[in-house]
Chain A
């Protein structure tokens, strides 16, 4: 085994070594200024002058470096750019008009009251998380008067933001549901297929985005879901589709609902932007509530990362709406068995903040005001960008900028145009043409408009 490892090392050394030294230089640049990159000789020498175990070598010696995350790679490149004009429209985290991250006032207040309460302890939460948080989260997404909640048909567990909720839901389905296929829209958030594959499901796809209209390919969606095997799971973005910003209309949602119910397809909602898309929590939950109202079952992954700005605290919830309270009870007990071998119980801090806010009418109201302000700023940026392009007479139809909703806009720009904008105008965005509207402000918007205009007219 050891010889095999070393043989593999020698043959693949140059490729992986080049990639690795690049990565090491990246990490060195951001971590410690005094770090020097490793040269070929040093690498070879370090291989020789090892610990006594060198004869055996590491059992992980043939592990190759993983490719960089495409979205986070944008920020890495942005950080290296020395131009004062650079604009980061890559990762989807909200920025103020001044380009700064934002901690909501209501969150600061909640945190302070938690810190100042001497009776608070940091004991383990139950496996299912903070009970009050779970109840309030379910009410938030399904509506306080939801029949599913009143009939105790909802099993809700606290999870690590949207990702964690999707993963726990996926693993539960892989263990207890009779279908393994999950239908995912094209395009979707890059992490979706990985989450479901690791959970033990089989990602399939359905058409969603139409590049020619830069809107919804409704006919394609209907065709693909009509052809899906009965009982398949269908992933739906509740609102503010990531990365396109293209959402079905309420009428289209109703048609989607009927289609799914007619074919017994199981809906799995991902709600990462409730309140953040339109500014109204109820409006952004419309699609979900439509499905719950017909009495059927569904899964719902909720995230508080964006709408409460709790990104790094990893706060979210998975709800499974069941046919009966009895089933919901059993489902909850099985969810515990998925969670326990993953991380035992969820982190306390973020959920406590959310519960503090949601349970207090004053704080809740304050939150809705701050949330609407964030959503409004983004909507105004959309309008301004559209106006700027119109004023420049940039060729093409740019109305999708104001038709799309949420944090992202799928501009329709291609890879070459994006590379051009990065080179010439220091605009950093993902190569699929997605821009994070949250990164725009009145200062850098003209530059973006210039860049788009130049890219479209010269390429």
Chain B
């Protein structure tokens, strides 16, 4: 009994600092379940309901609380056994050389639940496992040529040839490659930007777009611990994970208009107005992911104006500069409008898509400051956040970016290639829409060509998507998002036909 008590006390003494329960997950997970319930029989509904209940009750608690609940359930035998062992161990004042077999009888990680599959990357996994010869992958956002093959840009191959064997692989400084940062800033802020000349931008190399967002979220948490982040609905799913793991509370603002499959501009402005002054907003600079719906230039100006009067902070996530319209300058228009209006912005840049550097994880986080002194301070703090995450960023991708952007010939080649990619996608949008209209679809498909960038928010329901997958071996995320990069002249007809079949 005494040993049992000792063990109970040791449980209480554990550090009780719990991270906040993932309440938003409840709404994200429960809602889809409710919408599909009507398709099931009564007994199926009941089973689902019970499972859902168990799952949702689990969701009320944090991971650590769930561990405790499970432990309490299996208390009897396990605890008594462990109590017996621990009492022996604590009675020993000195270690005694024994047989040496690990005392631990069961795994410390036996309670770990299998994690749910990533909704986006899980699609590709399913696609790869499908043996059908007709299968089409319009899931993950990685560019494919018209043969459905991945592409390494010529400018990238040439850059790699120049790099290999000529340079050492020493650590980059904590903030990353200064040459790469310089070129990244010119691309985002403009070649002749005064802010660059005045050294007012605090910038560090980051692990592609994800890493840049995460660094900003960590920075926001550390220096403005009471702030929150406003995230558009919908958005790239990982945005929620990033700010959650950085422990910054999240809000949402309305963005997508389901009826028009366009921008819900009035609701957007209303939400911006209703947010408390000085709120932090995540804005997609161009080619909104997953909808492909961007504000017009006029709308961006109005948004900027409203931001000014509310003193909101805009963080631009720019993952598709050049890739959306084919012209990097045009794709940075929103950012330039905000800069002209005098905003002090943040910008998360990625070279994954526009340079095809996906796996190299090349990106940049920049924050425009009041003056050079402040930029120096902010950059030093951003470096302090990178140090305990990965010490310093990977060199290879950075060298490719700086080699290409720093050489006029290679940069020209890159601009041509990125326009080529954008044009192919725009062409596929046109073809897909034409095909659907030719098939006599009663629905309007003009959103396919109105939307921009890699993704098309088709407006299809999860059930329709499931039919596409099960009956036609077409793989995409269940929110109806089609990666146009996966559409080719070879499969656009098949795709149009399938979409028509499930939506008519």
Contact = CB atoms under 8 A, between A and B. Distances in A.
Interface of A: 1-2, 16-17, 20-21, 23-24, 27, 31, 38, 43, 46-47, 50-54, 56-61, 63-66, 69, 72, 91, 93, 101-103, 107-108, 111-112, 115, 120-127, 160-161, 163-164, 167, 171, 175-181, 191, 194-195, 197-200, 202, 222, 226, 229-231, 254-255, 257-259, 261-264, 266, 294-297, 305, 309-314, 320, 322-324, 327, 329-331, 333-334, 336-338, 340-350
B137 to A, nearest CB: 12
B374 A123 contact: no
Contact of A327 (B110, B170, B381): B110
Given A123-B142, A127-B121, A176-B63, A320 B210 contact: no
Contacts of B210: 340-344
Contacts of A346: 361
B370 A322 contact: no
Given A262-B92, A263-B89, A66 B370 contact: no
A124 B108 contact: no
B359 A125 contact: yes
A292 B14 CA distance: 27
B169 A258 contact: no
Interface in B136-157: 140, 142, 150-152, 156
A440 B391 CA distance: 25
A24 B387 contact: no
A66 B86 contact: no
Nearest to B161: A115
Contact of B165 (A108, A263, A333, A345): A108
A123 B358 contact: yes
B208 interface: yes
5 contacts: A58-B370, A103-B169, A334-B115, A343-B210, A346-B361
Residues of B contacting A: mostly? loop
A123 B89 CA distance: 51
A197 B387 CA distance: 12
B172 A312 contact: yes
A206 B178 CA distance: 39
Contact of B387 (A102, A111, A194, A259): A194
Contacts of A176: 63, 67, 109, 111-112
B465 interface: no
Contact of A38 (B19, B95, B343, B373): B373
B108 A56 contact: no
Nearest to A129: B359
A295 B101 CA distance: 7
Contacts of B246: 341
Interface in B158-176: 160-161, 164-165, 168-174
Nearest to B246: A341
A383 to B, nearest CB: 27
Interface of B: 10, 13-15, 17, 19, 63-64, 67, 86, 89-90, 92-98, 100-104, 106-115, 118, 121, 140, 142, 150-152, 156, 160-161, 164-165, 168-174, 178, 207-208, 210-211, 214, 218, 223-224, 238, 241-242, 244-246, 278, 308, 311, 313, 341-344, 352, 356-361, 367, 369-374, 376-378, 380-381, 383-385, 387-397
Given A1-B278, A194-B388, A349-B394, A66 B383 contact: yes
Nearest to A175: B63
B359 A297 contact: no
A2 B311 CA distance: 10
A122 B156 contact: yes
A12 B381 CA distance: 17
A23 B387 CA distance: 18
B370 A122 contact: no
Contact of B361 (A59, A331, A345): A345
Nearest to A165: B390
Given A58-B369, A103-B169, A337-B115, A222 B342 contact: no
A242 to B, nearest CB: 13
B214 A93 contact: no
Contact of A341 (B114, B241, B385): B241
Given A176-B109, A258-B98, A313-B169, A60 B378 contact: yes
A327 B109 CA distance: 7
B95 A226 contact: yes
Contacts of A102: 168
A243 to B, nearest CB: 16
A-B residue pairs, 4 tightest by C-beta: A348-B359, A296-B102, A312-B395, A323-B107
Contacts of B385: 198
Contact of A24 (B151, B370, B376): B376
A264 B103 contact: yes
A259 B63 CA distance: 30
A341 B342 CA distance: 31
Contacts of A23: 376, 380
A161 B342 contact: no
Q: Which of B241, B361, B378 has the most CB atoms of chain A within a 10 A radius of its CB?
A: B361
Given A314-B390, A347-B394, A340 B238 contact: yes
B108 A266 contact: yes
Contacts of A17: 373
Nearest to B213: A341
Given A46-B372, A122-B357, A191-B388, A222 B208 contact: no
B394 A313 contact: yes
A90 to B, nearest CB: 12
